[in-house]
């Protein structure tokens, strides 16, 4: 590695969260670890902020879509300053702020990722805003447009509307000209949804929620639903859907099994589509289209990543517990430099 490929040499060790066994958030331990060196094709990033997703908590618990191999350092998405380049890396400058989807390893003061995993972000964004951007906004875009085929003037139902994905979905839906019905657990969270442009807001535990959602969309149900709750609420999503409606399954916050009877889809010609960002990111044309559209919206100020509560690295257990217990709004952020 030449001098032009690296910034000032960091300390020999760093702080990192390590998971040695799977379980609840308190299995995470803050430890000292060697500062990693980038392998060929990789970059090293000084981590400014880590975006925490429900998927991170599922991975620590061993309940994610892919097997979690321990020991490991959690953290799927992050933002920071490029600190060093591995052999063969081109088109990346040391000192540039980037975001990245690395799969794991972000909850540390330094992280290495393949250069291909870097996501350019407007340099006007703070580190926390950049960390709040990749997972939530790419997922929302694919749910609304790539898979959801949302069209201007249509109604879309956004569940968990004050969370990271919910706030991203509301902003993008409004930028696309869709009408938004937002569900959330408290009046305070519904106020956040209204601030971001939601047209109709309904408490998710309102006993008349199904009827109110259908009525809000003209009495015929909602053409597009972003489903993140799962469990027994999945049936409600089917009941809220319009004829020929599209239900995009993005999460399972209830952590309960959902039942689906195909005949229900047949009766109203419904479509249920699963969305997993990890596999979608391997679709280069879809990723490039999403990146182009999102860059324009962020650059114009139509979309502003919503940063929620921030935590220091030694508060990681608390951050995960707050997320799981729905005590947060926006993107939960951990800042290793604090």
Q: Give residues with Cβ within 8 angstroms of 125, minimum separation 6.
A: 79, 97, 133, 298, 305
Low-confidence ranges of the chain (pLDDT < 70): 1-10
The CA–CA distances, whole Å, from 51 to 55, 104, 134, 136, 156 equal 11, 11, 9, 9, 25
Strands 118-120, 97-101: pairing kind: antiparallel
Domain 148-274 sits in CATH at 3.40.50.720
Q: What region, left, alpha or beta, does residue 26 occupy, with left being phi > 0 and alpha being psi -120 to 50 degrees?
A: alpha
Q: What is the pLDDT of residue 2?
A: 43
For domain 13-134+306-334, give the CATH superfamily.
Medium-chain alcohol dehydrogenases, catalytic domain (3.90.180.10)
Q: Where are the domains of the chain?
A: 13-134+306-334, 148-274
DSSP conformation class of 332: E
Q: Is the pTM of this model over 0.85?
A: yes
Nearest residue to 53 (alpha-carbon basis) of 158, 164, 127, 140? 164
Q: Give residues with Cβ within 8 angstroms of 105, minimum separation 6.
A: 72, 73, 75, 111, 112, 113
The CA–CA distances, whole Å, from 36 to 9, 93, 109, 112, 284 equal 11, 18, 10, 7, 28
Yes or no: say if 33 and 18 are a contact pair by the CB < 8 Å rule.
yes
- A 10 A CB-CB count for 36 gives 16
Yes or no: say if 142 and 277 are a contact pair by the CB < 8 Å rule.
yes
Number of residues that this document lists for the chain: 338
- A 10 A CB-CB count for 299 gives 12
Yes or no: say if 180 and 170 are a contact pair by the CB < 8 Å rule.
yes
pLDDT in tens, 256-303: 888 888 998 999 999 999 999 989 988 989 988 998 999 899 888 899
- Element at 334 (helix H, strand E): strand 331-335
């Amino acid at each position: 590695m030449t001098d032009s490929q690296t910034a000032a040499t960091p300390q020999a060790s760093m702080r990192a969260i390590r998971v040695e066994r799977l379980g609840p958030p308190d299995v995470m331990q803050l430890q000292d670890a060697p500062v990693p060196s980038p392998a060929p094709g990789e970059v090293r990033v000084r981590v400014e902020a880590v975006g925490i997703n429900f998927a991170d908590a599922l991975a620590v618990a061993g309940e994610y879509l892919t097997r979690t191999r321990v020991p490991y350092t959690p953290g799927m998405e992050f933002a920071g300053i490029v600190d060093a380049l591995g052999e063969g890396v081109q088109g990346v400058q040391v000192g540039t702020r980037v975001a990245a989807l690395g799969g794991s390893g972000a909850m540390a003061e330094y992280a290495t990722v393949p250069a291909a995993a870097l996501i350019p972000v407007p340099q006007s964004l703070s580190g926390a805003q950049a960390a709040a951007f990749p997972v939530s906004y790419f997922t929302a875009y694919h749910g609304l447009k790539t898979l959801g085929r949302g069209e201007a003037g249509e109604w879309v139902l956004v569940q968990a509307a004050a969370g990271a994905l919910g706030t991203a979905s509301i902003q993008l839906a409004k930028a696309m000209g869709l009408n938004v019905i937002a569900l959330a657990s408290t009046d305070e969270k519904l106020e956040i949804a209204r601030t971001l442009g939601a047209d109709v807001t309904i408490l998710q535990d309102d006993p008349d929620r199904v009827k109110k959602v259908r009525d809000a969309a003209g009495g015929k149900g909602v053409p597009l639903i972003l489903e993140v709750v799962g469990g027994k609420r999945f049936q409600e999503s089917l009941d809220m859907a319009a004829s020929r409606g599209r239900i995009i399954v993005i999460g399972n916050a209830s952590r309960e099994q959902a039942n689906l009877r195909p005949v229900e889809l047949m009766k109203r010609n419904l479509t249920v589509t699963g969305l997993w960002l990890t596999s979608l990111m391997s679709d280069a044309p879809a990723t490039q289209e999403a990146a182009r559209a999102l860059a324009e919206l962020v650059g114009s100020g139509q979309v502003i990543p919503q940063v929620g509560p921030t935590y220091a690295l030694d508060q990681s257990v608390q951050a995960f517990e707050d997320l799981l217990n729905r005590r947060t709004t926006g993107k939960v952020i951990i800042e290793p430099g604090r």
